[in-house]
Amino acid sequence: MSVRKPVHFFLDMCILLPQALDVSAKSCEDFLKEAGESCCVSSSVCSKVSETLDKAHDWVAKEIQENLYPYLEKHTIDRLTKRDARIFEGFFNERRRRLGAIRSATMHYEIIRRVELWAVTHIHSIELGKKISAEIFLTALLAELSKVYESLKAPLDTIKVKEITPKEEIKSHVALQGVRNLEDIDHLASAIQFQFTNDIWVVFVTFDEKDILSHQRRLLEICALSCCKPHYAMDYSRDLSRQEPPIQYYASITSKSPQQKSFARTIETLLSVSVI
Amino acid sequence: MGVLSMLPSNSGVISGEKVFRNDVFKPISLDLLKQKPDVQIEETDIESVVNDNIRILDLIRLPERFDRKAIVTFLEDLIRKDFENDPLHKQAVELDKYAKDFHRYMQRYFDKIFDYHNKLKEDLLGYVFGASNFYLKSDFPPSFARTLTFSLLTECRFIDLYNRKIRRERLALITNYNNRTKFKRVCDIHNSWVDPLSSAIERITEMRVGLIWYVDFTHSKTLEEIFKPKKLKKSLLDEEYFFGMLVNIQRETYQFRRALVNLSKETFSTFPSREDPTVNMLCSVMETMSS
């Protein structure tokens, strides 16, 4: 009797980013508490999250450097008092408005929210009648931005990263199931490749309804990859752990559809495993 | 403030580690242990033993012919002679002396390390502020500030982790102070995790200082201008070289953080506030990963 290997959870980028809704955050938290040790990310997801975070930091830093600082200089506001909080309200509202043009700006919003809160709290904490240098205040704001960036980056350091370069042929099969976003194709293909290379069941955990979960059924049927939201992940894990390992499972499908046959041939050729 | 004075040359946590490392490598050669402790018999020791014996005598009925004062004097002489001829007592006093000194010196020594590290962290946060100020007043890309501040804050993480680890090691050192084999083992374990990290952080510090030097030198026409404040302009830099330096620091910092996580994931789970649901979620990610 073969030993059943534990199910691995591959996390999508959205799981590692701040959640817009409390419900989603709770769902992530509960799942991660339960399955933390079995969670990992593919190198493609890791680099994408890192890149997103870098971009968000750089965008906010640049806005402070190129817009807020010159604005204060232009209006000769070289000192700030307790009553100047609304300068920041105007600045950050305008940044939010501009973020509408940026795709996947969750991280931008999160960073703005935190540094804005810091700015307002500290402006309000200035003693009545006292003034502080605007330059010093903006410098401290940038320093706070660095701390926020570092703290958001920390979870990435702790998660196991699987170095995977997904094969083009596997990516094609993912695309054939309807996934259009190139980055998502990379993440899903990495999970599939890991699953069949190691003969371990993988559950791809995501919130992405539009690009991934809408193709959930086809990804499972053709590529044998389970995708779900975090709150269902443990149910998937339980069911998969009762099944035969992926290679044996795929080989046991008696009447394969043409698409399944094509996928099986790809896996056989690329990974030298027998699934037909 | 000149650019050079913004970042540390090469002081920092490294020297703190070396002090610690050198000392723990030669624990037995610590001055306090080399010196022969004063093993003069203490009057208080004798008095204490006499009192104990008198207390026993008070409990029993003694013949009247014995004078209590004479008994005390007699016992004092007896106990003094006994102590002087008893090698075990000498040894016990000696050990007690060692133990008292060891605890006292170790405590003071570690307190100094923690105090030093707190000041070092304050300095590093000051450099974060300095780097942010240079960025604010320049037209440099945000990656300049991001790279510098991220590596500085990573160094702060290292200090946190270092403190946490040596708190445990201190306990092990004190517990095993009279067992040379175990004591040495604690030292060896300490050195095995400190050495690779300290050389890595030293490399990052050097690269960071190198970047600042490069920026300062390219913005100065004469040596006298090097330490003077100046407006930093991107156009004066060789962009390819400049970004190459940034990438190198980023790569080293990334690898260093990975090494820190392997050493202790819990250090990465300290977040400012868990009131915020998002922060709480991220904390949970880290806690889960480190459990």
Digit-coded pLDDT (tens) for A84-97: 999 999 999 999 99
- The mean pLDDT value of chain A amounts to 88
Query: In this prediction, what percent of chain A has a pLDDT beyond 90?
Result: 55
Count CA atoms within 13 Å of residue A207 on its CB side.
Answer: 16
Neighbours of B112 (CB within 10 A): 12
Tokens 């997103």: give the residue.
A52
Of the given ranges (A220-234, B83-97, B231-245), which has the lowest mean pLDDT? B83-97
In a domain, B54, yes or no: no
Phi, psi of A84 (to 5 degrees): -95, 15
Contacts of B142 in chain A (CB under 8 A): 57-59, 61-62, 65
Of the given ranges (A229-238, A263-272, B78-87), which has the lowest mean pLDDT? B78-87
Tokens found for residue B81: 């002679």
Per-residue pLDDT tens for A34-57? 777 788 899 999 888 899 999 999
* Cα-based angle B284, B291, A148 (whole degrees, multiple of 5): 35
Tokens found for residue A233: 């992940």
**pLDDT score of B6:** 33
**pLDDT score of B154:** 93
Neighbours of B199 (CB within 10 A): 10
Phi, psi of A129 (to 5 degrees): 90, -10
Element (H, E) at A265: helix A258-271
DSSP tag of B26: S
In a domain, B65, yes or no: no
Residue B180 banded pLDDT, cuts 50, 70, 90? confident
Neighbours of B76 (CB within 10 A): 16
**pLDDT score of B151:** 95
Contacts of B265 in chain A (CB under 8 A): 158
Sorted by sequence, the CB contacts under 8 Å of residue B189 that are 6+ apart come out as B169
**pLDDT score of A275:** 72
Is the model more confident about A172 or about B106? A172
Fold of domain A8-50+159-271? Rossmann fold (3.40.50)
Letter for the amino acid at A241? S
Residue among B133, B280, B288 minimizing CB distance to A36: B288
Residue A105 banded pLDDT, cuts 50, 70, 90? confident
Residue B13 banded pLDDT, cuts 50, 70, 90? very low
Residue among A146, A150, A158 minimizing CB distance to B261: A158
In a domain, B49, yes or no: no
In a domain, B52, yes or no: no
Alpha carbons A243 and A167: distance in angstroms, whole number: 26
Is the model more confident about A253 or about A5? A253
Residue among B136, B284, B289 minimizing CB distance to A65: B136
Contacts of B278 in chain A (CB under 8 A): 18-19, 25, 110
Alpha carbons B238 and B240: distance in angstroms, whole number: 6
> Cβ separation of A18 and B278 shorter than 8 Å?
yes
ipTM of the prediction: 0.81
**pLDDT score of B36:** 45
CA dist B77 → B40, B47, B84, B283 (Å): 15, 11, 11, 69
In a domain, B93, yes or no: no
Closest residue, chain A, to B260 (C-alpha): A157
Identify the contact set of chain A against chain B, taking CB-CB distances under 8 A.
16, 18-19, 22, 25-26, 28-29, 32-33, 36-37, 39, 54, 57-59, 61-62, 64-65, 69, 110, 135, 138-140, 142-143, 145-147, 149-155, 157-160
Picking from A136, A142, A160, A163 by the largest number of B CB atoms within 10 A of its own CB, the best residue to mutate is: A142
Instruction: Calculate the dihedral angle through the C-alpha atoms of B246, B247, B250, B252, rounding to the nearest 10 degrees.
Output: -110
**pLDDT score of B18:** 28
Beta A202-205 vs A226-228: how paired, if at all? parallel
Per-residue pLDDT tens for B25-40? 223 333 333 444 444 5
Tokens found for residue A274: 């027998």
Neighbours of A142 (CB within 10 A): 26
For residue A9, pLDDT beyond 90: yes
Residue B147 banded pLDDT, cuts 50, 70, 90? very high
Q: What residues does each domain of chain A span?
A: 8-50+159-271, 52-157
Please tell me the distance in Å from B157's CA to the nearest CA on chain A: 10
Phi, psi of A8 (to 5 degrees): -100, 140
Residue among A25, A57, A138 minimizing CB distance to B146: A57
Closest residue, chain A, to B131 (C-alpha): A143
**pLDDT score of A64:** 95
Please tell me the distance in Å from B106's CA to the nearest CA on chain A: 34
Phi-psi region of A19 (alpha: psi -120 to 50; beta: other; left: phi over 0): beta
> Cβ separation of B281 and A140 shorter than 8 Å?
no
Q: Are A221 and A262 in contact (CB under 8 A)?
A: no
Once rounded to an integer, what is the mean pLDDT over residues A18-35? 72
In a domain, B83, yes or no: no
Once rounded to an integer, what is the mean pLDDT over residues A153-180? 89
Sorted by sequence, the CB contacts under 8 Å of residue B49 that are 6+ apart come out as B75, B79
Per-residue pLDDT tens for A201-257? 999 999 888 899 999 999 999 999 999 998 899 999 999 988 899 998 998 888 889
Identify the contact set of chain B against chain A, taking CB-CB distances under 8 A.
125, 128-129, 131-133, 135-139, 141-143, 145-146, 149-150, 153-154, 257-258, 260-261, 265, 268-269, 271-272, 277-282, 284-291
Once rounded to an integer, what is the mean pLDDT over residues B62-80? 80
**pLDDT score of A270:** 87
pTM beyond 0.95: no
Residue among B129, B271, B281 minimizing CB distance to A143: B129
Domain of residue B269 covers 4-38+114-290
Once rounded to an integer, what is the mean pLDDT over residues B68-79? 81
Residue among B149, B269, B288 minimizing CB distance to A32: B288
Q: How many domains does chain B have?
A: 1
> Cβ separation of B136 and A36 shorter than 8 Å?
no
